[in-house]
Amino acid sequence: MRILLGNNPYCIVEMNNNQRQITPVLYDSVFPEWNVSFEFFICDLNKNIIKCSIYDRKQFSIDRLLGYIELPVSSLIDRQQQQ
């Protein structure tokens, strides 16, 4: 009998609500790491927003939102240039 069960997480990555990529589901995972890359078309660094939403895949009900974050693309570019 299993007492602790992990979630079945997957991530939806969206750019400005019109470009979307989805990771594979990692079944029974407590600390998921996807190690995948996505490409998005960026029009304006100062206006583009990226949103990452983590969901728990449910077999017999609606998938549950675990959390999300929204970031301006410019903040990600600035961090990469600082490294």
pLDDT tens digits, one per residue of 30-43: 899 999 999 999 88
- How many Å apart are CA 32 and CA 16, to the nearest integer? 25
pLDDT at position 83, please? 60
The pTM of the full predicted model, rounded to 2 decimals, is 0.82
- 39: its two tokens: 């490409």
Domains of the chain (ranges, CATH numbers) = 9-82 (2.60.40.150)
Torsion of CA 31, 42, 79, 12, to 10 degrees: -10
pLDDT at position 44, please? 84
Measured between its terminal Cα atoms, the distance across the chain in Å is 46
